[in-house]
Chains A and B, each alone.
Chain A
Amino acid sequence: MKMETNHPSLHVLTAIQTNLPMKAAYTLDELAHATGRSRPTAYRYLTELEQNGFVIAYHRGAFTLRDSVFLPTTIIPHILPSLHALKQAKRFRLHNGKSGVNKAKKLLSELGGMSTLDYAAHEITGYQTPDTFYFYPDLFERAVQLLRANSYVESPKGKVVLLPRIGDFSKPILRVFYDSLALGGRGIIDAIAISKRYPDITKSSGYLDLLLNLARKVEQDTRGADKIGQHTR
């Protein structure tokens, strides 16, 4: 099956997943070496990943990837809308340097929309502490104007994040689940916690759902035995 042209090619994802170990950062040379391709081809792979929102940072031949790039390829089409939204996100903080999360939560909720990731996952699972407020406003430009009118400025490290509404929002918990998977890092932990709480909602994730179910079974079966992975935190 040919994937849509704006999706990452299956062979690129397969090459990455098969040949690159999961690390905090990579170099272009490593990517070329691992995939057995030339540096220009490796750069083309990287560009394709960047266009789809998998690249967190790239500078002078070094780059970091969201670990969602290593998820089963069957889940990738589900998380692409989230990745594209994250790629087009705008980050804000208050002009005085404060995060302004609480104020923004109030302002944006009144405007309308849906929160996702940290705060939404925390509301659903109560598991990890929230840090950044991610929000899909019903009216994106209106939300930007509202924040600016209330002393917010755009900042790359801002903790108020506006995301454009891309994809399906008909099932909010499922959307938070896919957003969490797409974000990667501690978002994956949120996704697992959401899946544990709402297995019926997240079962559409197919093979990933199977893995999570098996993990839960292993956890239940080994409870009381020595802790698995005790020294791997």
Chain B
Amino acid sequence: MRTKSANIRDECVRVNAEIPSAVFVGAAATLAHLGWAFRTTTDLDVVVGVVSDVDDERLFQLKYWKDPISNEWYTPRGIKIDIYKGTLNGFSVGDIASQSVIVYARKNAPIKVAKLEMLILMKHRAGLVSDVRALVNAKYSSIDWNYLEGISKDPVECQEIRNVARAFGLLKP
């Protein structure tokens, strides 16, 4: 039996093929950074590097559809997709896109996801504390602390992320 997280993984690959400049943020990015083993809902959150990739006309051509009542977009497979423009949790969509990293969702199927440090700060700013803990605990050795400090809005924010690592006994003295 295929798991739901496997379905999300496949959906990321399909969306990436349809919207080449899509960068996954939110739960899909967390899943990708955590090796596709984490709890998520099935909706997708993306930002795009090329705005014309997601104008309404283009999305309708791709057979994406919009709920007329809620105005929310759905992929052709019926998965809800939130496409963010402007800023997201204090980061410009342009910065998220330009700093994104490649993760292989499947063999020969790369997708772009938000950089780990940006994702941690986005989750932190959104108050999703359990996701912050999961990312810091599992990916501690991959975190570029200098980079994280550089993109934090102030030293306190960076220190709060360090405290998570400290509580789990990960910080070296």
Residue ranges of A at the interface with B (Cβ–Cβ < 8 Å): 22-27, 56-64, 67, 99, 118, 122, 127-131, 159, 184-186, 189, 223-224, 226-227, 230-233
Q: A57 touching B168 by the CB < 8 A rule?
A: yes
Q: A233 touching B45 by the CB < 8 A rule?
A: yes
Q: A231 touching B87 by the CB < 8 A rule?
A: yes
Residues of chain A within 8 A (CB-CB) of B39 are 118, 128-131, 186
Q: A59 touching B169 by the CB < 8 A rule?
A: yes
Beyond A186-B131, A231-B87: 8 further Cβ-contacts under 8 Å? A57-B167, A58-B167, A227-B71, A231-B88, A232-B127, A233-B26, A233-B88, A233-B128
Chain B 117-173 residues near chain A, CB threshold 8 A: 122, 124, 126-133, 136, 160-161, 163-164, 166-169
Residues of chain B within 8 A (CB-CB) of A129 are 3-5, 8, 38-42
Sorted nearest first, the 7 A-B pairs with minimum C-beta distance are A185-B130, A62-B166, A25-B163, A59-B169, A62-B167, A24-B132, A129-B4
- Complex alpha-carbon distance, A63 and B131, angstroms: 16
Residues of chain B within 8 A (CB-CB) of A23 are 129, 160
Chain B nearest Cβ from A99, distance in angstroms: 8
Mostly helix, strand, loop or mixed at chain A's interface? loop
Q: B161 touching A223 by the CB < 8 A rule?
A: no
Chain B nearest Cβ from A76, distance in angstroms: 19
Contact with A along B64-104 (1 / 0, CB 8 A): 00000111100000000010101111000000000000000
Chain B 10-62 residues near chain A, CB threshold 8 A: 25-26, 37-42, 45
- Complex alpha-carbon distance, A127 and B82, angstroms: 17
Residues of chain A within 8 A (CB-CB) of B45 are 233
Q: A127 touching B41 by the CB < 8 A rule?
A: yes
Residues of chain A within 8 A (CB-CB) of B4 are 122, 129-130
- Complex alpha-carbon distance, A210 and B22, angstroms: 40
- Complex alpha-carbon distance, A130 and B69, angstroms: 30
Residues of chain B within 8 A (CB-CB) of A122 are 4
